[in-house]
Chain A
Amino acid sequence: MSGELVGLVVVSHSGRLADGVAEVAAQMAPDVTVTPAGGLPDGGVGTDFEAVLAAVTEAATGAGAVVLYDLGSAQMTAEMAVESLPEPDAAVIVDAPLVEGAIAAAVSAQGGGDRSAVADAARAAAGRPEVADTADAAGSGAAASSGAAADSGAAAASDGAAGARAEITLANEVGLHARPAALLARSIADLDADVRVSLGATDADAKSVFSLMSLTARKGDTVVVTATGAQAEDAVARVTALAERNFDE
């Protein structure tokens, strides 16, 4: 299984930091191999080229690897290690926040994302999560037109692509907190559909854990799930089913 999924490598100056980031990321993605490479061989702080090369070599089999780093020499050491691979293209180094990036990448990899999708997920974890406000003309326009198609349940969106929509009242205890948000994002990661979840005026990219969490949707809130694209109906059905199972809480 792990050979089919993109693997992650966490390069850090500290062994404990690399281990900790790998631990937190792996929790969200049970089938993804997250390999830590941190610290010097004697346990000191620094980056060990040989350890990084071993980790990257191991992770870059099968579907390849995405490499995250903390700072300074960790980036340069990661670059040297990737350049030393028989196939340097097998690994992508991303400039992303280490913890959030690793988690976003792990969730994307778990959903079957390829190297560039996993790398994009890590990069997108930088800065503020993607949240559209009604005040932003473009974002609200899209949300409103999806909303207008509401009553038909599933309807063609204005651009002619297949579209689907559902309203879900969250019944689970924690709402769209980290774990449910990760489950939701993971459940639709492999579908060819653009899926949005909105709460009131804000909406979120349903394939991004951080975007979903930033809605801070709680128990009792009603969120609207809209999807466009070839597998829009599947996407809405999966999200609805997950919510009906109370996110397996």
Chain B
Amino acid sequence: MGCNAERVAEVLRAGGATVAEHKAELIDLDRAIGDADHGENLDRGFAAVLAALDGGLPETPGAVLKVAATTLISKVGGAAGPLYGTAFLRAATTLGDASELDAAAVATGLRAALDGVVARGKAEVGDATMVDALAPAVEAAERAQADGGDPAAVLAAAAGAAKEGADSTVPLTARKGRASYLGERSVGHADPGATSTALVLGAFAEAAR
């Protein structure tokens, strides 16, 4: 039932495919309240992650996530770079050199990812950022794991909560990142980073089924 390095790489590839597919949508969301580069940034980063994984598969899930982290940090070029990068890096570090991930490890990895994003960006729930998707996702994942869910169930719970969390940013005033310069004018728009977080987690969950 556990996920080995190969499965984790597959899950990441699914995330990359989803980002590529929704690139234009993410760009449009970022055009409304930012600088129209979120889709471009993330797609550049995930394409590089996939290329890196094609070049050779590391041995452990943690090592796969670390390749993703360092590649995203180097290639994304916007706020999503340090934020997604730190998320993957913290998850990788927490998972150590385990060869397979069980449900508890998936939940722990997600928690570490959230802690990393918060440490890096200092955003709280309600600031209309990717934290609004990731924080409820982590809580849902932990509940699913406590209820005896397998890794796929944990990711499915995370994905569902992330989607709701992303939608919850629509009525909010952005308080972090570029959109915060708009103040009240950011109300009425979904946050691009929260939306991409929900999309990526959705793809992870789908691929893990």
Contact A76 B83 (CB under 8 A): yes
Segment from B71-79, B130-138, B156-164 that makes contact with A: B71-79
Shortest Cβ distance from B202 into chain A, in angstroms? 25
Contact residues in B for A58 (Cβ distance below 8 Å): none
| Complex Cα–Cα for A48 and B44 (A) | 13
List the 5 shortest-distance A-B pairs measured between CB atoms, nearest first.
Answer: A46-B77, A76-B82, A73-B79, A40-B77, A49-B73
DSSP class of B's interface residues: helix, strand, loop or mixed? helix
Report how far A192 CA is from B35 CA in the complex, Å. Answer: 48
Q: Are A76 and B120 in contact (CB under 8 A)?
A: yes
- Contact between B78 and A46, CB atoms less than 8 A apart: yes
Given A45-B35, A46-B37: A79 in contact with B82 (beta carbons within 8 A): yes
Residues of B at the A interface (CB closer than 8 Å) are 35, 37, 41, 73-74, 77-83, 85-86, 120-121, 177-178
Q: Is A202 an interface residue when CB atoms closer than 8 A count as contact?
A: no
Q: Which range holds the interface residue count of chain A? A: 10 to 19
Which A-chain residue is minimally distant from B89 (CB atoms)?
A: A80
Interface string of A34-54 (1 = CB under 8 A from B): 000000100011111110000
Partner of B121, one of A40, A49, A76: A76
A47 engages B86 (CB within 8 Å): no
Q: Roughly how many angstroms separate A128 CA and B81 CA in the complex, as a whole number?
A: 34
Q: How many A-B residue pairs have CB under 8 A?
A: 43
- 26 of the cross-chain contacts (CB-CB < 8 Å) are A44-B77, A45-B37, A46-B37, A46-B41, A46-B77, A46-B78, A47-B78, A48-B77, A71-B178, A72-B178, A73-B77, A73-B78, A73-B79, A73-B81, A73-B82, A76-B79, A76-B82, A76-B83, A77-B81, A77-B82, A79-B82, A79-B120, A80-B82, A80-B85, A80-B86, A80-B120
Give Cα A44–Cα B79 distance, bound, in whole angstroms: 15
Contact A80 B73 (CB under 8 A): yes
Q: Name the residue on B nearest A73 (C-beta).
A: B79
Task: Select one of B37, B74, B79 contacting A49, CB under 8 A.
Answer: B74
User: Using an 8 Å CB-CB cutoff, how does the interface string of A156-181 with B read, 1 for contact, 0 for none?
Assistant: 00000000000000000000000000
Verify B177–A72 contact, CB threshold 8 A. Answer: yes
Q: Which residues of A contact B81 (CB under 8 A)?
A: 47, 49, 73, 76-77
Contacts of A72 on B, CB cut-off 8 Å? 78-79, 177-178
Interface residues of A in 39-92 (CB under 8 A from B): 40, 44-50, 71-73, 76-77, 79-80
Using Cβ atoms and an 8 Å threshold, which residues of chain A touch B74?
49-50
Closest A residue by C-beta to B35: A45
Task: Name the B residues within 8 Å of A77 (CB-CB).
Answer: 81-82
Please name all residues of chain A whose beta carbon is closer than 8 Å to the beta carbon of B78 when the two chains form the complex. 46-47, 72-73
Residues from chain A with a CB closer than 8 A to the CB of B83 are: 76
A79 to B86, CA, bound (A): 11
User: Knowing that A48-B77, A80-B86 are A-B contacts, what are 4 other residue pairs whose CB atoms are under 8 Å apart, sorted by A's residue number?
Assistant: A44-B77, A46-B78, A50-B74, A73-B78
Chain B residues with CB under 8 A of A49 = 73-74, 81-82
> What is the distance, in angstroms, from B146's C-beta to the closest C-beta of chain A?
33
When distances are taken between beta carbons in the complex, the residues of chain B under 8 Å from A71 are 178
C-alpha gap A80/B120 in the complex (Å): 9
Query: Which B residues are CB-close (under 8 A) to A73?
Result: 77-82
Closest to B41 in A: A46
B77 CB to closest chain A CB, in angstroms?
Answer: 3
The closest CB in chain A to the CB of B77 belongs to A46
